[in-house]
A and B are shown apart, each in its own frame.
Chain A
Amino acid sequence: MMDANQKPMLIIKDIRKAFGANEVLKGISIDVKKGELVTFVGPSGCGKTTLLRIIGGFTEHDSGEIILEGQSIGHLPPNLRDTRICFQNYALFPHMTVAGNLAYCLKIQKWKKDKIKERVEGLLKLVQLEGMGERMIDKLSGGQQQRVAFARALAAAPKVLLLDEPLSNLDANLRLLMRDEIRRLQTELHITTVFVTHDQFEAMAISDKIVVLSDGIIQQVGSPVEIYDHPVNEFIANFVGYVNFLDATIDTIDTETCGSKVSTKYGKFKITIEQNDIKTGDEVVLVIRPETISISLSNETAEQNVLCGTLTRYMYTGSLAKCSVNLGDREIIIDLYNPRDRANFSKGDKVDVTIPRNVHLLKKETSPGQKSD
């Protein structure tokens, strides 16, 4: 969808920030293309909100540069930047009506009265709140307030939209709905957006590009697929979902037939290796997602990529069954989708666990550290 050679619209260059002795951001660089939705995600305290506030101009950074359409804006106060923030608590002005909130920015920009009216009507329509212009803010539901906040941020067509955990005050169902709504509008309006969330699944669902932050550094930047399927370290692998790690050594590499071989404590596996920085003899960690593993009742025959173990947990949750299989000295977790149509498992069963060929590898020495894409 996005032109790969397009020049970035927003460039964040080596941003550093410390609060006293506490270094919150240790050199952050990101490029954001026009119309792209980039998400900062990370555990709480990772600096993602601080970074967003620095882009918005609310917090001063210690060093680094912010460039919007070729112009450095890092030194400007928020009111002179063409970025618009939408706070987690919406920050709607409670003493004004919906229309008053939407018009605030336009009045500052000295729009003509009838133009403002027209624009406000347009915005209300955009977020499906037609006829609600005269309501006071506290007469709106949470979802409606969310929409007003979003519309208000869009009112004067800013160049970059900054969203600080905009969905965290909504209940679960509404959150999914608004998430899709924001994504739809964002794509439709083709507005460059920086989104902050601590919810990795929200990030996966909404983003063009995900920036995973932890301890003030970027752990990985990539599309949702890259982040989930090709995490650069154990932290990322763990962060975006449950994962089984298995230590292994590379025996042979065969890129032609996808028949590389690794040996582990539990036997030899045949796997596909696509990463070209892996050599024979390397110590690696296999990153195996629970849903990629399949299990069956044991038939006591040794097959390729199959481990034998005992089922220690079988938790049926409807769309999937969460299973744990004991391999003797450790357990592995398996997500069994569509469990209804599968064999009847019960606790204590001997089972065969099939490790997929297509697994992601991490080099052993890769400790959590910075890696740019």
Chain B
Amino acid sequence: MARAITYDSRLYGWTRVKEFINARFINMLAAFLFLLLAFFLVYPIIAVLIKSFQGPEGFTLSYYKHFFTHAYFFQSLYNTLLLGLINTFLCLVIGFCFAYMTTRGPMALRKPLKLIAMVPLIAPPYLFAVSLIILFGRVGLITNTFNVDWEIYGFDGVVIAQTLAFIPLAFLMLENTIKSLNPNLEESAYDMGATEGRIIRTITIPLLTPGLLKAALLVFVMTIAEFGNAAVLGGRTPFLAPDTYTMITGEADFHMGSVLSIMLIIPCIIIFFVHNYLISGKKFTTIEGKPIASEPRKMSLLVKLPFIAVTFISGFVIFVCFAVVIVAAFVKILGVRNEFILAHMLDFRHNMAIYNSIKVSFIAALIGGSIGTLLAYVIVRGKFFGRTFIEMVALSGFALPGTVIGVGYLLAFSAPPFKLTGGILILALNCVFRFLAVGVEAGIAKLHQINIEIEEASSDMGASFIATFSRIVLPIMFPAFVAGFIYTFMTTMVSLSAVVFLVSPGYELAAVSIFNAAVYGKIGLASATTLKMIVIVILCMITLSVLSRFTKLDIEHKGGAA
């Protein structure tokens, strides 16, 4: 009898609709999210690709031919790749020195060195361009005081600024790998008579190889895509990212702009796939025992000295860069007219820009946090075909140069039917999809922490899928949402390379204002706005760390908002 009633209610009416939705909810959600990804992440890139091949009479290779036959473009490509290589090398060396000292070095130095290596994270990467101009610019402090005849505008300047900006990224990744390295391995070598130098050479570095490689790839992608430093300090030296910008905004040549974008994206895509392959590929496994905190070994002076030298010098440079920006914010023209003024801090247009940035970042954070959480759920719990593909697309935004996204959004969303340019939404959306990775990864991590049996218990007790989802899954995933929210907020705040294409006159963003001020030599103004940004980012980070302490969610910091 009872069975017949259930059967009937299943067949007819609202219950049946509900059943239908419940059974397919996760797939429908996945489809919806995939459409979003396709539309806001894949489609703009395809638009760039199409534009680069699209001549007045259809398909053409002439733009590419133009690229490869002009020495200027070749130089630009060459400079960009060379910059990437040099930067990666320097960041890895410095990052390794810091990471080794903070994990294996003297206890007293561990905390302070970690702090200094992380400090650049709180600033937008182009802070270093600003501070280098203050120090070495045409009227720079050091240039004037010591009469140095050295042009900061050019390749060297960009290398220095970029290296300083990406130390934290290399450091964090390497520190992570060294930490996951069982200290007993090095202790065993030590026990068998190996000296510190020999341990580093034969045990530590070989074991770190996968981690080093991953860090190298990421730093490489980040540095070649970084726009701000190269645009401000590049001078007459061509680099792909700023050249793309000039091509589009200066000469309005969308075809060549697209070609340059494609050139920028190719290394990134290659590296993204290599990176994914490495992650899935072989890892050195060791048998887990009880974790023993590594105790510092007695390092001989010969080994210690280079580590101390590298970390102390770069730490000092980072400190000076921050200090001059903070001072410059309150001084009329640092080094020229050292009068205390508040005009830079109180500049109306820049404060409006900060306000706009906060608004855009908040919208981006809200959307990004939600999409990230839902994506994580779909990726972990879904059982449909193509799950890993969705994950890959979602994470790829991280590796895409902001410049390319900017060009892509301009091409894809500036004309009907999808006219979004000129609005505030497009400024938020490009950041949402570029910085999705962290929210997704935090969500995945959170979901892996909780057993699927919790959800099964809920449905066992009679809850429908939607009830389980809203009452069990969402509350559990809330910390991951907040992590994604704050991360997106923070990165959108400082992000420059994509929005620089998309801002409309009258709706300035802080990052773009800093960029323009720096380009036109209004260093005080640039410094003041950078300082405000640092304060906002610090506040976000504090929230994030408080959150991760309360929720035991390890939120991976990923630097590098270009």
| Residues on A facing B (Cβ under 8 Å) | 49, 56-59, 77-80, 83-85, 87-95, 104-105, 108-109, 138, 142, 145, 152, 155-156, 165, 168-169
The distance from the CB of B201 to the nearest CB of chain A, in whole angstroms, is 12
The distance from the CB of A195 to the nearest CB of chain B, in whole angstroms, is 16
CA distance A84 to B284 in the complex (A): 24
Taking CB atoms and an 8 Å cut-off, the chain B residues in 424-454 that contact chain A are none
> At the interface with chain A, which of B269-277, B290-298, B455-463?
B290-298
- B297: which A residues are within 8 A, CB to CB? 77
B203 at the interface (CB under 8 A from A): yes
- B285: which A residues are within 8 A, CB to CB? 94, 138
In chain B, what residue has the closest Cβ to A60? B295
Instruction: Indicate which residue in B182, B189, B209, B295 contacts A104 across the interface (CB closer than 8 Å).
Output: B189
The distance from the CB of A166 to the nearest CB of chain B, in whole angstroms, is 10
- B182: which A residues are within 8 A, CB to CB? 89, 91
Q: Is A88 a contact partner of B290 (Cβ separation < 8 A)? A: yes
Contact flags B156-196 to A (C-beta < 8 A → 1, else 0): 00000000000000000000000000101101111111110
Taking CB atoms and an 8 Å cut-off, the chain B residues in 255-290 that contact chain A are 284-290
Instruction: Indicate which residue in B193, B206, B284, B290 contacts A109 across the interface (CB closer than 8 Å).
Output: B193
B207 at the interface (CB under 8 A from A): yes
Q: Is A156 a contact partner of B192 (Cβ separation < 8 A)? A: yes
- B184: which A residues are within 8 A, CB to CB? 87-89, 91
Q: Is A90 a contact partner of B287 (Cβ separation < 8 A)? A: yes
Instruction: Indicate which residue in B192, B286, B298 contacts A108 across the interface (CB closer than 8 Å).
Output: B192
Given contacts A49-B292, A88-B290, A142-B287, 16 further A-B contacts (CB under 8 A): A58-B187, A79-B195, A80-B193, A87-B184, A87-B187, A87-B289, A89-B184, A90-B286, A93-B188, A104-B189, A104-B192, A104-B202, A105-B192, A105-B193, A152-B188, A156-B193
In chain B, what residue has the closest Cβ to A81? B191
- A58: which B residues are within 8 A, CB to CB? 187, 190-191, 295
CA distance A94 to B193 in the complex (A): 19
In chain B, what residue has the closest Cβ to A106? B192
Of B187, B198, B284, B287, most A-chain CB atoms within 10 Å: B287
- A142: which B residues are within 8 A, CB to CB? 287
Q: Is B190 a contact partner of A95 (Cβ separation < 8 A)? A: no
CA distance A256 to B295 in the complex (A): 59
- 8 nearest A-B residue pairs (beta carbon): A89-B289, A91-B184, A105-B192, A94-B284, A88-B289, A91-B188, A87-B184, A108-B193
The distance from the CB of A308 to the nearest CB of chain B, in whole angstroms, is 49
Contact flags B39-58 to A (C-beta < 8 A → 1, else 0): 00000000000000000000
The distance from the CB of A222 to the nearest CB of chain B, in whole angstroms, is 28
- A83: which B residues are within 8 A, CB to CB? 191
Taking CB atoms and an 8 Å cut-off, the chain B residues in 192-218 that contact chain A are 192-195, 198, 202-203, 206-207, 209
Count of inter-chain pairs, beta carbons less than 8 A: 87
- A85: which B residues are within 8 A, CB to CB? 187-188, 191
**With A58-B295, A93-B203, A169-B287 in contact, do A87 and B188 touch (Cβ < 8 Å)?**
yes
Q: Is B287 a contact partner of A84 (Cβ separation < 8 A)? A: no
CA distance A59 to B286 in the complex (A): 23
- B195: which A residues are within 8 A, CB to CB? 79
CA distance A85 to B191 in the complex (A): 7
Q: Is A91 a contact partner of B185 (Cβ separation < 8 A)? A: yes
Q: Is A78 a contact partner of B286 (Cβ separation < 8 A)? A: no
CA distance A83 to B288 in the complex (A): 23
The distance from the CB of B94 to the nearest CB of chain A, in whole angstroms, is 24
Q: Mostly helix, strand, loop or mixed at chain B's interface?
A: loop
The distance from the CB of B206 to the nearest CB of chain A, in whole angstroms, is 5
The distance from the CB of A81 to the nearest CB of chain B, in whole angstroms, is 8
- B192: which A residues are within 8 A, CB to CB? 79, 84, 104-105, 108, 152, 155-156
Q: Is A95 a contact partner of B295 (Cβ separation < 8 A)? A: no
Q: List 24 A-B contacts (CB under 8 A).
A: A77-B298, A83-B191, A84-B192, A85-B187, A87-B184, A88-B289, A89-B286, A89-B287, A89-B289, A93-B203, A94-B284, A94-B285, A95-B209, A104-B189, A104-B192, A105-B192, A105-B193, A108-B194, A108-B198, A138-B284, A142-B287, A152-B192, A156-B193, A169-B289
Q: Is B287 a contact partner of A78 (Cβ separation < 8 A)? A: no
CA distance A91 to B288 in the complex (A): 9
CA distance A84 to B297 in the complex (A): 17
Instruction: Indicate which residue in B198, B286, B295 contacts A91 across the interface (CB closer than 8 Å).
Output: B286
CA distance A363 to B338 in the complex (A): 85
- B284: which A residues are within 8 A, CB to CB? 94-95, 138
Instruction: Indicate which residue in A84, A89, A95 contacts B191 across the interface (CB closer than 8 Å).
Output: A84
- A138: which B residues are within 8 A, CB to CB? 284-285
- B287: which A residues are within 8 A, CB to CB? 89-90, 142, 145, 169
- B198: which A residues are within 8 A, CB to CB? 108
The distance from the CB of A141 to the nearest CB of chain B, in whole angstroms, is 11
Of A49, A89, A109, most B-chain CB atoms within 10 Å: A89
- A152: which B residues are within 8 A, CB to CB? 188, 192
Q: Is A78 a contact partner of B187 (Cβ separation < 8 A)? A: yes
CA distance A104 to B195 in the complex (A): 13
In chain B, what residue has the closest Cβ to A83? B191
- A77: which B residues are within 8 A, CB to CB? 190, 297-298
Q: Is B187 a contact partner of A95 (Cβ separation < 8 A)? A: no
Q: Is A79 a contact partner of B193 (Cβ separation < 8 A)? A: yes
CA distance A57 to B295 in the complex (A): 11
- A87: which B residues are within 8 A, CB to CB? 184, 187-188, 289
- B209: which A residues are within 8 A, CB to CB? 95
Q: Is B193 a contact partner of A91 (Cβ separation < 8 A)? A: no
In chain B, what residue has the closest Cβ to A87? B184
CA distance A78 to B185 in the complex (A): 13
In chain A, what residue has the closest Cβ to B288? A89
**With A87-B184, A93-B185 in contact, do A78 and B207 touch (Cβ < 8 Å)?**
no
- B289: which A residues are within 8 A, CB to CB? 87-89, 165, 168-169
Of A87, A104, A142, A155, most B-chain CB atoms within 10 Å: A87
The distance from the CB of B362 to the nearest CB of chain A, in whole angstroms, is 44
CA distance A88 to B288 in the complex (A): 9
**With A79-B193, A105-B192 in contact, do A91 and B290 touch (Cβ < 8 Å)?**
no
CA distance A195 to B285 in the complex (A): 26
- B207: which A residues are within 8 A, CB to CB? 93-95
Taking CB atoms and an 8 Å cut-off, the chain B residues in 42-101 that contact chain A are none
Of B191, B202, B289, B290, most A-chain CB atoms within 10 Å: B191
Contact flags B378-420 to A (C-beta < 8 A → 1, else 0): 0000000000000000000000000000000000000000000
Q: Is A79 a contact partner of B286 (Cβ separation < 8 A)? A: no
Q: Is B194 a contact partner of A59 (Cβ separation < 8 A)? A: no
CA distance A155 to B284 in the complex (A): 24
In chain B, what residue has the closest Cβ to A169? B287
In chain A, what residue has the closest Cβ to B199? A79
The distance from the CB of A36 to the nearest CB of chain B, in whole angstroms, is 21
Of A78, A90, A91, most B-chain CB atoms within 10 Å: A91
CA distance A51 to B341 in the complex (A): 63
In chain B, what residue has the closest Cβ to A94? B284
- B298: which A residues are within 8 A, CB to CB? 77
- A84: which B residues are within 8 A, CB to CB? 191-192
The distance from the CB of B181 to the nearest CB of chain A, in whole angstroms, is 10
CA distance A169 to B190 in the complex (A): 23
The distance from the CB of A224 to the nearest CB of chain B, in whole angstroms, is 26
CA distance A48 to B190 in the complex (A): 21
